[in-house]
Structure 1
């Protein structure tokens, strides 16, 4: 099943499987979200929960009991319920279940709230701890922006002048190796060579927004003030770029396996709610 919301400027469509955004079109019917061609990458904009990235050996421990979780968790592969709908807003919910408790022993509700405001789509994540203990989790976004022109005709423009230090992945884990993404006047031209070693992982950034330029003109802007970390990713010759606001990231090789001790993890007290938003603005 799918749900569509709209206003005078934009139309957004969301699949109930994973509550995954798969389309943002303007009023000229131009598409801004990657089509999901599986020859490159068969997704569009999955939610990453209750982990972001990869666990060491795909396992973790809670109270000395071992659990398995796949890369980026399980929420993106589960059916969400539509619990609220207006013309320009849709709210989706995923509740913990017998199935999720086998992989992640916490009672939770995850809501994804999509709202169109003028030329922006805002996506809010709401995580509710319904259990009686502290709940460790990470959450992240993975929207793939379609790039209809030649890849080299695009560039990133960061919000601030800063030292753009990113971490390299080794066997899907965060290594201690870092590089600097070279920017001139906050602008980084795109080329596939940047992503030859997989995603660029920024544990922290001063910039809280990133604009994609198309032939030097603003194309799409992603604002992520509620998220401390960011991933940037594409595949060789793929006509898209992923701008991924994250709370958390892959394990390091030194990780103890205890989820409460995981670098970048967030811990939510019992009966509390976590909220974070990001937005995609069509320029």
Structure 2
């Protein structure tokens, strides 16, 4: 059974879950992991996220560690959309990243953060849909699970979601990103909005075919043609390897602002289009039947290189 503790520092409330091999710390603001650590043979903990464990803001660049995205992800055109004819508004990646979560439900090896339907901002998302976000530790690593419940009795609900983790590397230009074999659908998104152009790329497996120097523009990849979805970040210079099991994820986004991190983001949805469509018709949107649940997960396995 993992050990749980709560702490407050500089106004930030952290929930820490410590297992035999892995440890996480989660900020209740946004339910964001700010630390993901693996235990070395020496008994010391080695962090795997960008600025692992830091609660302050950096002097420049991306200021997060592993942003939770939902009930939509990426961006809405002009920060607004129409859902079933109703105007909704919201900033980049949705409201979850700034949501003040209550204390989590603590399991033997897990933390579950809950968003009640009546606390979802109505001008952001008008339907009654709740969320349980669970972090759990096991020998496989850290599993993150999203479970949405559509509490509407007669209406389908539409959501998109994912995680935006930045993994620490010596440099995004030299760290090796190993992609599984398959046929990738690159969704072109100039200015962070889909143009409708899709580039098909067949990859034999191994080092990424997408140039690291262009990561600032991001790569948004559809995975329908990729049967085995294990992605690996290999960075011997920093002594880190991260294996990512994205078996259930239909999309992945690759990004960095050229600080020492690499984002490999599992996504259940896509950015808005230019020109935009109605929210319920967004490409990649996930549909939940009335009264039904939608559960999706992925797993992060950090390893310390000798």
TM-score (norm 2): 0.83
Shift of 1:179: 5.1
Correspondent of 1:227 among 249, 253, 256: 249
Distance 2:163 2:284 in 1: 15
Aligned partner of residue 70 in structure 1, secondary structure: coil
- Confirm whether residue 255 of structure 1 aligns to residue 259 of structure 2: no
Taking the aligned partners of 1:240 and 1:190, their CA distance within structure 2 comes to 16
The 1:180–1:62 alpha-carbon spacing in structure 2 relative to 1, beyond 3 Å, is closer
CA distance in 1, matches of 2:290, 2:184: 36
Distance 1:119 1:273, change over 3 A: closer
Deviation (angstroms), 1:177: 4.1
Contact persistence 2:184–2:222 (CA under 8 A):
no
User: Cα–Cα, structure 1 residues 51 and 99, in superposed 2: closer, same or farther, change >3 Å?
Assistant: closer
Change (3 A) 1:191 1:39: farther
1:17 is matched with which residue: 21, 29, 34?
29
Alignment partner, residue 47 of structure 2: 31
Counterpart secondary structure, 1:114: strand
SS of the counterpart of 1:193? helix
- Partner deviation per Cα, 1:182-213 (whole Å, 9 max, x = no partner): 967521288641214x2100023514110011
Deviation at 1:87, TM superposition (A): 5.0
Deviations 1:10-39 (A, max 9, x none): 111111111111101122221101116351
Deviation at 1:247, TM superposition (A): 0.7
Query: 1:218-238: CA deviations, max 9, x gaps?
Result: 7101111111011011003x0
Q: Could you tell me which residue of structure 2 aligns to residue 276 of structure 1?
A: 296
**Structure-2 change in CA distance of 1:105 and 1:127 (3 Å):** same
1:200 aligns with 2:212: no
TM-score, normalized by length of structure 1? 0.89
Q: Does the C-alpha gap of structure 1 residues 118 and 61 become closer, same or farther in structure 2, counting only changes over 3 Å?
A: same
What are structure 2's unaligned runs of at least 5 residues? 1-12, 52-56
Q: Determine whether 1:5 maps to 2:56.
A: no
For the Cα contact (< 8 Å) 1:234–1:241, is it kept in 2? Answer: yes
Gap runs ≥5 in structure 1? none
Cα offsets for 1:31-61 (capped at 9, x unmatched): 1011163511111111110111112222211
- 8 Å CA contact 1:154–1:189 kept in 2: the answer is no
Kept after mapping to 1: 8 A contact 2:193/2:271: yes
Moved more, 55-64 or 69-78: 55-64
Provide the aligned length of Structure 1 versus Structure 2: 278
Distance 2:205 2:130 in 1: 42
2:285 is the alignment partner of 1:265: yes
Equivalent in 91, 105, 110 of residue 112 of structure 2: 91
Q: Which of 142, 160, 163 lines up with 1:141 in the alignment?
A: 163
Specify the alignment match of 1:176 in structure 2: 196
Instruction: State the alpha-carbon separation in 2 of the partners of residues 99 and 245 from structure 1.
Output: 23
Report how far residue 166 of structure 1 moved: 1.8
Following the alignment from structure 1 to structure 2, what is the Cα–Cα distance between the partners of residues 113 and 41? 25
RMSD: 2.4
